[in-house]
Structures are given as structure tokens and as C-alpha cells.
Chain A
């Protein structure tokens, strides 16, 4: 049964066309110029000197150097600078930035410590500050300059917004027909009269949907990985802390992990991103299947599921996210597959007096929603009445 349900999904031509277009877009974006690609040997030399966690010495040194070159620039033409000069300047800048962020981190820790001292042990403020401080203490020696290659672009397909668009278009296109086609194409009457046509078939359909998603996500990551590998040349930096990812300098994506409170290595964040994106996509798939089981027309199902993902996504993209709408912007389906943003900052919510981390809360909420939708999907199909 499962095999044939997969066959139904994978014989839709439209998904291949869209996948092909997405790959073309990714190739195109991969070839857009970015400020800096740390491919040349010079960066390895610089890494020898400046790499790893920033120290007071390194910090002072690069600041000195930058002051010197700033002064020099007034005299020299910028165009006359050699590539080496430029690269050195960029690395100096990175180290200086890391140094600054580390100082900010220490300041933040001081604030938290005084907060902890001055607040009631049972108060939410206390718990929240303590939680943040514990996390920050674990990333003490992470900020610095790291030579990170292909990983720079591995967290998004082009950038967060396109990641959401690519994934949701593929999910919606592939999965909206799963139930609604059975009703419109009048195969439901045959299916529902069979032994397993009311219950087991749904399990088979969900498994097929998950298989589809595994294949979609894996192949997109694979294509993206190959492109990034070609562009950045190598897998170095896999073990660096995520605070060393340089958002926006050598990728189009503006991810910003410098301020992240999470103690994660690059490969761990990648694994986590991949896993959560998969879970998020499955959660979306269940929503799409729920819409599909409730509509007798694939086109309508397509629009409804598109709107469920798209409207909150658009609100947060346009920046209308204020007040109550802000919650909608933070807790919606697109955030689940965006992956970016989940681990960039310390964000907690007060849930019954306990500080809960944003990613935990986001996935918990959608876990509950998904369980309900699953139940109603089974219920709806089982009780579908063949009337025409």
C-alpha cells in the first residue's frame, strides 16, 4: 500500500519541474558575487596567526592595525591595495568584531549577575537570568576568527526566505492532492469500501508523505552542499563554534550567529538544522494533508495551505509584526522550516512562570497542533461520505 501511495506522489510531473527550477535558481544565486570567499591560501596563513578564539592580545593587535590602515587609507588610493592587503584587512575586521562581541558578552553577563543578585529567587526574572547566564557561561571561549568553508552557506537554500518558499512550494505541490484527488477523481468510493481503506491507508499516505519529504529535503541539501563545496572549496571549519560563522560576508544569507547563546559546533548546528527542518516539513505536511482531507478540490487545497503558510510569512517579511501579530510572525509554519533564527539569539517565553526557549516552545506548540490535526485527518477520512 505504502509503495503505491509513494508512486501516486512521485508520478506528478509538476514536482520535477519545480524542483528543476529551484535548482536553477540555486545555481544562479551561487554564482552571484559575494564580498569574500575564503578560498585562497592567504586565508590559511591568516588563520595560522589569528584563528581560534579571540584573546586580549589578538584583539589589541588587530585594533592597532586597523587604526593604522584607516589612517593610511587617507593617503593611499583604495584601489592600489593588493588582494593580500584586502584579505588581511577583512580578517582583522573579523577578529576585531569577535573581540567586541566578546566584550559585549561579558557586559551582558555582568548585567545578568546583578539581576540574579537583586531579584527574588522564585521570580521569573531570576529564573530567566539564571538560564541565560548558564548558557552564556558555556560559550566563554567561542568568539573569534575561524576558517569556515562550505558550511557558511549550508544553513539556507540561498537565504531564509527562499528556503521557506522552496520547501513549502514542494511540500504543497506534492501533497495537496493526496486526499483531495481521491475525492475529486472518484476513487474514494472504491477505497473506502475496502478493509484497510478507512484507517491503514492514512498511515500509508502519511508514511509516503514523509518519504517524499525526506527525499525533497535530502536532495535540496545535497544540491546545496555540492554548490557550496564548489564555491568554498572544502569542509574546513566543521568543528568551529557557530559564533564564528560570518553572516553576510561570504554568503547571501544574512544569518547572524555571533550573538547566539547556544554552545554548538558548526556541524552540530547543521545536523540540528537539517533535523528540525525535516520535523518542520513533516509538521507542514500533516497540515497540508489535513487541508487535503477537508477539501474536495486540489486547487482549493493548494490555495488554502499556501495561505496558511504564506500569510504569516508575508507579515513577518513585510515587517508588520507588531503587537499580537508579532506572535503570529514568530509562531507559524514558515518558522519551522526556516531554521535560521531559531538559534541566533536568546529568546525565552514565560510559560507558567518558567522561561522556555523559543525553539522549544515553537516545536512544542506545533507538536500539539500536529497531533490534533493528525487525529482529525483520520477522523475525517474515516467518516467521509461518498455522495456523488
Chain B
């Protein structure tokens, strides 16, 4: 099974949101990382067949998805970053409705609805109106909906936004369980979500794919460039201006900061093992700094 993204671009009136993006995906979890406005959502919409690319094409098992149409969407599960729900529907009705949209017959649907409710831990809430759901519960019903047809291609756009830590762990486990025999593309800003489950990481910047690699090799690339150092409050502003700074932690010794730098920045700096968060900082430092 493979999903080929072939030189995809999307141009809005005055903005190129995705620029010549190419990648070949097989079974496993792909993490799509990038700062706000990088084009992740736009790319995922095109993969979900709800937005037409300006150029390029997407192939599923070598067949163009725009030609496959229903056939492709039959194996697709999609959770948008932002979506609405029918306020007057109960959770069960909502899922039964989507089951019918996905072509499940009624008997099948009833069983499957119970299963996905269980998967997102919403059993017991199924009789409640969706208008009474909290943000996290809405996200979970969205995830449940995406899983209904047991999709071969699962596209989830910031699925963990708004989930509490317990549910996040639950979702992460769910993904790693089901990813063995399907293609999962996941976008997130919460790097720890994908740290252990991502097969490959796709880094996006201004619409372009700037890195496509396994987590290990990305870590490899910046290994030896991550430093821990304790500084004083007075030193902090200048350091922040000059270096790529990660975590800042106050402790009894002073202010402990994480610096990503090719060479040892300070004599008292200690080299530490790199994490995915450092990878993110390394590639997107400008954006991070601008956002502070």
C-alpha cells in the first residue's frame, strides 16, 4: 500500500500555501510538523480529497485519487483541524449518520459505532446531544468518525488539540496500535505526541517540505549540538537574542536553559541528548523566536 504525493502545490488568490510537495508514504505514522501557516492543513485537505491542488497529483497505489473518487474516499478517514457538529444530534446518531455516509450497512454500523465510541472513550456519553459536549469530547467524536470505516489512509489534523493528557496518551496508543497496516498522517504542534510513534517526520516550512526523514536520523543530525547551561536572569535576554533556545527552567542553581548550537556556546555548557523538540527548534528557530 502506498500513497504518493507528487509535486503538489496549492495557490490561493495571493498566497502559495503549498509549494511542490512530494513524498511517498507507506504503512506507518507520518508526523507532519511545521509552524503556524506552514501549509499542513492545506496539504492534508488535498490528501483528503476535499481541496483540489493547483498543480501535481496524489496517487493511491498508483491510481490518481481524483479519478478514484468514491473508491479512494472509501478507504479514507479524515479528521479536520476545525469542524462543526450537528448540535441536535446525539453522539450515536452522529456516528450512525457518518457510518451511512461511509457506506456501512445498518447492522455493521451499529456494531462499529459502539467500537469506535469505546476507542475514544465516549461510551456512556452516546445518548447525549453533541451541543452539550466539551471541546475535547468534540475532538474525540471527530476521531471516532474518522475511524468508522476502518480506513486504510488516516489523515488527522491536530488530533490532540484540546485533549487532556490522559486522552492524549490514549490516542497515541491507539494510533500506534492501528498504524501497522495503514498509512497515518498526523499533524501536530505537540512534539511529544509523535516522539515514540512516528515512523517518519515531515517538516514543512512556508509550504515546502524541508525535511523528510526518520526520527532517528533527524536526531542524529543535531546530536552533539544540544547544550544545557545555567545562566543568570540578567544574561538571559542577550542569550535569547543570539542563540536558539529551547526549554527554560528555573531551579535553585539559577536559570537552566537548553541551547541548540553547532559548537559549545559557553564553557560551562553540558552536552545533552537531542530530542524531537530540539529538532523542531533547530529547523524552525526564526518562527519560534518571532512568536515569543
Chain B residues whose CB sits within 8 angstroms of the CB of A191 once the complex forms: 101
The answer to whether B45 touches A196, judged by C-beta atoms less than 8 angstroms apart, is no
The answer to whether A193 touches B12, judged by C-beta atoms less than 8 angstroms apart, is no
The answer to whether A195 touches B96, judged by C-beta atoms less than 8 angstroms apart, is no
The answer to whether B73 touches A194, judged by C-beta atoms less than 8 angstroms apart, is yes
Assess whether A67 is interfacial by the CB under 8 Å rule: no
Q: Which of A193, A196, A383 contacts B103 (CB 8 A)?
A: A196
The answer to whether A196 touches B70, judged by C-beta atoms less than 8 angstroms apart, is yes
Q: Considering residues A188, A195, A197, A387, which has the most beta carbons from chain B within 10 angstroms of its beta carbon?
A: A195
Shortest C-beta distance, A339 to chain B (Å), equals 34
Give the segment of A1-9, A272-280, A352-360 that binds chain B: A1-9
Chain B, Cβ-Cβ closest to A13 = B88
A198 to B195, CA, bound (A): 36
Chain A residues whose CB sits within 8 angstroms of the CB of B82 once the complex forms: 186
Known: A1-B100, A195-B149, A196-B103. A190 touches B78 (CB 8 A): yes
Chain B, Cβ-Cβ closest to A189 = B80
Assess whether B196 is interfacial by the CB under 8 Å rule: no
Contact with A along B101-141 (1 / 0, CB 8 A): 11100000000000000000000000000000000000000
Assess whether B49 is interfacial by the CB under 8 Å rule: yes
Chain A residues whose CB sits within 8 angstroms of the CB of B45 once the complex forms: 189, 386
Chain B, Cβ-Cβ closest to A12 = B88
Contact with B along A67-84 (1 / 0, CB 8 A): 000000000000000000
Chain B residues whose CB sits within 8 angstroms of the CB of A328 once the complex forms: none
Contact with A along B84-105 (1 / 0, CB 8 A): 1110110001001110111100
The answer to whether A187 touches B84, judged by C-beta atoms less than 8 angstroms apart, is yes
Assess whether B50 is interfacial by the CB under 8 Å rule: yes
A186 to B12, CA, bound (A): 19
A384 to B45, CA, bound (A): 12
Shortest C-beta distance, B160 to chain A (Å), equals 18
Assess whether A192 is interfacial by the CB under 8 Å rule: yes
Known: A187-B83, A187-B84. A193 touches B48 (CB 8 A): yes
Q: Which of B83, B100, B101 contacts A189 (CB 8 A)?
A: B83
A290 to B102, CA, bound (A): 24
The answer to whether A11 touches B88, judged by C-beta atoms less than 8 angstroms apart, is yes
Assess whether B52 is interfacial by the CB under 8 Å rule: yes
Q: Which of B52, B101, B142 contacts A1 (CB 8 A)?
A: B101
The answer to whether A185 touches B70, judged by C-beta atoms less than 8 angstroms apart, is no
Assess whether A201 is interfacial by the CB under 8 Å rule: yes
Chain B residues whose CB sits within 8 angstroms of the CB of A200 once the complex forms: 101
Assess whether B267 is interfacial by the CB under 8 Å rule: no
The answer to whether B50 touches A189, judged by C-beta atoms less than 8 angstroms apart, is yes
Assess whether B55 is interfacial by the CB under 8 Å rule: no
Chain A residues whose CB sits within 8 angstroms of the CB of B150 once the complex forms: none
Assess whether B145 is interfacial by the CB under 8 Å rule: yes
Chain A residues whose CB sits within 8 angstroms of the CB of B237 once the complex forms: none
Chain A, Cβ-Cβ closest to B74 = A195
Chain A residues whose CB sits within 8 angstroms of the CB of B69 once the complex forms: 198
Chain A, Cβ-Cβ closest to B82 = A186
Chain B, Cβ-Cβ closest to A182 = B84
Q: Which of B49, B74, B96 contacts A192 (CB 8 A)?
A: B49
Assess whether B51 is interfacial by the CB under 8 Å rule: yes
Assess whether B76 is interfacial by the CB under 8 Å rule: yes
Tally chain B residues at the interface, Cβ within 8 Å. 32
Chain A residues whose CB sits within 8 angstroms of the CB of B85 once the complex forms: 187
The answer to whether A193 touches B52, judged by C-beta atoms less than 8 angstroms apart, is no
The answer to whether B84 touches A195, judged by C-beta atoms less than 8 angstroms apart, is no
The answer to whether B96 touches A385, judged by C-beta atoms less than 8 angstroms apart, is no
The answer to whether A1 touches B84, judged by C-beta atoms less than 8 angstroms apart, is no
Chain B residues whose CB sits within 8 angstroms of the CB of A65 once the complex forms: none
Q: Considering residues A192, A193, A195, which has the most beta carbons from chain B within 10 angstroms of its beta carbon?
A: A193
Chain A residues whose CB sits within 8 angstroms of the CB of B12 once the complex forms: 387
The answer to whether B145 touches A190, judged by C-beta atoms less than 8 angstroms apart, is yes
Shortest C-beta distance, B138 to chain A (Å), equals 12
Chain B residues whose CB sits within 8 angstroms of the CB of A188 once the complex forms: 50
The answer to whether B142 touches A190, judged by C-beta atoms less than 8 angstroms apart, is yes
Chain B residues whose CB sits within 8 angstroms of the CB of A121 once the complex forms: none
A4 to B90, CA, bound (A): 11
Contact with A along B138-179 (1 / 0, CB 8 A): 000010010001000000000000000000000000000000
Known: A1-B101, A191-B101, A386-B50. A8 touches B86 (CB 8 A): yes
Q: Which of B80, B102, B142 contacts A194 (CB 8 A)?
A: B102
A117 to B98, CA, bound (A): 69
Chain A residues whose CB sits within 8 angstroms of the CB of B49 once the complex forms: 192-193
Shortest C-beta distance, B124 to chain A (Å), equals 22
The answer to whether B103 touches A385, judged by C-beta atoms less than 8 angstroms apart, is no
The answer to whether B84 touches A193, judged by C-beta atoms less than 8 angstroms apart, is no
Chain A, Cβ-Cβ closest to B79 = A190
A259 to B128, CA, bound (A): 61
Assess whether A199 is interfacial by the CB under 8 Å rule: yes
Chain B residues whose CB sits within 8 angstroms of the CB of A384 once the complex forms: 50
Known: A186-B82, A189-B83, A386-B45. A195 touches B101 (CB 8 A): yes
Shortest C-beta distance, A5 to chain B (Å), equals 9
A190-B83, A193-B50, A193-B78 provided; 9 other pairs, C-beta below 8 A? A7-B89, A185-B86, A193-B76, A194-B98, A194-B149, A195-B70, A195-B103, A197-B73, A199-B70
Q: List 12 A-B contacts (CB under 8 A).
A: A4-B89, A4-B93, A8-B86, A185-B86, A187-B86, A190-B142, A193-B49, A194-B76, A194-B149, A195-B73, A384-B50, A385-B51
Interface pairs A-B: 10 shortest CB-CB: A186-B84, A185-B84, A193-B78, A194-B101, A4-B97, A1-B100, A386-B50, A189-B80, A195-B74, A11-B88
Residues of B within 8 A of A (CB): 12, 45, 48-52, 69-70, 73-74, 76, 78, 80, 82-86, 88-89, 93, 96-98, 100-103, 142, 145, 149
